[in-house]
C-alpha cells in the first residue's frame, strides 16, 4: 500500500510545501469556537475511556498533537511527509512523531485509545477509504475513540496544481457527502456516535463535517 501513486503524490507535495504550510495554517487557538469545542470534547472522551494513547494521523507540523497533549491526553503524531515530521519534532521535542501511512499504520492491534484524523483523509481515493478505516478499527482498542474532521461535498474531485505559497503540488482531494463517510465508518465496524456539519462561513470556504465514533467493546 505504501507504494501507491497517490501516497507518493501526497508525500512529495507536502514535503515541498511543509514550511509554508506551517506558516499559513491556523493554530488550534485560531480555530472557530465549534471546532475548538469538538477537539476538547474528543480529548475528554479519550481520557474517560482510558484504554490507550491517542494518535494524531496526518499530524503535519504537530500543533494539534501538542494541543491535545495540553488537554491531558497522551498524544503522538504520524504523518506521511518526512518534512512535516521533522518540523513537528523541532517544534515539539517532548512529543513523539513518526513517518507513516494511514493505509498501513506502524502500530499494533488494539493499541490506541484514540485516533484523530484532522483534515487528513480527504486525499485518499474513495475506493481506498475502507482500507484506511479498517486500519483505524484494527489499531483502536475496544472502547477506543475516533474523530475525523474535514471538508465534505457532493463527490467533488479537486486537482490543485499549486498550494501553500504557490508551490507545485500533485495531490488530489475528494469531498464526499457526510452520509457516505458515516456509512463507510459503520461498514468498517465503527459506531458513529455524533456528527457536526458546519456550512461555509466565518472564513471557511467549504462545508466541514466532524464525526465522532468508537470501536465497540468486546462482547
In sequence order, what are the residues at sequence separation of 6 or more whose Cβ sits closer than 8 angstroms to the Cβ of residue 35? 149, 198, 208, 210
Q: What is the pLDDT of residue 1?
A: 36
The domains found in the chain, sorted by start residue, are 5-155+177-214 (3.40.50.150)
Q: Do residues 57 and 36 lie in contact, with contact meaning Cβ atoms separated by under 8 Å?
A: no
Most distant CA atoms of the chain, gap in Å? 52
d(CA 193, CA 27): 26
C-alpha cell at 53: 494513547
Residues in the chain, pLDDT under 50: 1-3
SS3 sequence of the chain: CCCCHHHHHHHHHHHHHHHHHHHHCCCHHHCCHHHHHHHHHHHHHHHHHCCCEEEEECCCCCHHHHHHHHCCCCEEEEECCHHHHHHHHHHCCCCCEEECECCECCCCCCCEEEEEEECCCCCCCHHHHHHHHHHHHHHEEEEEEEEEEEECCCCEEECCCEECCCEECCCCEEECCHHHHHHHHHHCCCEEEEEEEECCECCECCCEEEEEEECCCCC
Phi and psi torsions of 67, nearest 5°: -60, -45
- pTM for the full model? 0.95
Phi and psi torsions of 37, nearest 5°: -65, -35
Strand partners, 204: 201
Q: What is the pLDDT of residue 2?
A: 40
Q: What is the pLDDT of residue 214?
A: 97
Amino acid at each position: 500500500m505504501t507504494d501507491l501513486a497517490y501516497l507518493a503524490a501526497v508525500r512529495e507535495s507536502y514535503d515541498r510545501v511543509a514550511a509554508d504550510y506551517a506558516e499559513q495554517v491556523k493554530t488550534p487557538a485560531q480555530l472557530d469556537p465549534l471546532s475548538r469545542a469538538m477537539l476538547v470534547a474528543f480529548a475528554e472522551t479519550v481520557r474517560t475511556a482510558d484504554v490507550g494513547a491517542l494518535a494524531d494521523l496526518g499530524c503535519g507540523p504537530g500543533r494539534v498533537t501538542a494541543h491535545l497533549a495540553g488537554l491531558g491526553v497522551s498524544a503522538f503524531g504520524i504523518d506521511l511527509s518526512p518534512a512535516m515530521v521533522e518540523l513537528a519534532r523541532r517544534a515539539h521535542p517532548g512529543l513523539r512523531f513518526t513517518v507513516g501511512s494511514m493505509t498501513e499504520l506502524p502500530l499494533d492491534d488494539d493499541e490506541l485509545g484514540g485516533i484523530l484524523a484532522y483534515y487528513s483523509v480527504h486525499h485518499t481515493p474513495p475506493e481506498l477509504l475502507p482500507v484506511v478505516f479498517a486500519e483505524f478499527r484494527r489499531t483502536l482498542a475496544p472502547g477506543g475513540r475516533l474523530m475525523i474532521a474535514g471538508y465534505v461535498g457532493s463527490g467533488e474531485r479537486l486537482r490543485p496544481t499549486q498550494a501553500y505559497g504557490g508551490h507545485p503540488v500533485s495531490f488530489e482531494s475528494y469531498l464526499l457527502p457526510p452520509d457516505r463517510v458515516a456509512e463507510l465508518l459503520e461498514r468498517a465496524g465503527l459506531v458513529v456516535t455524533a456528527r457536526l456539519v458546519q456550512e461555509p462561513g466565518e472564513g471557511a470556504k467549504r462545508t466541514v463535517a466532524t464525526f465522532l465514533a468508537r470501536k465497540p467493546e468486546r462482547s
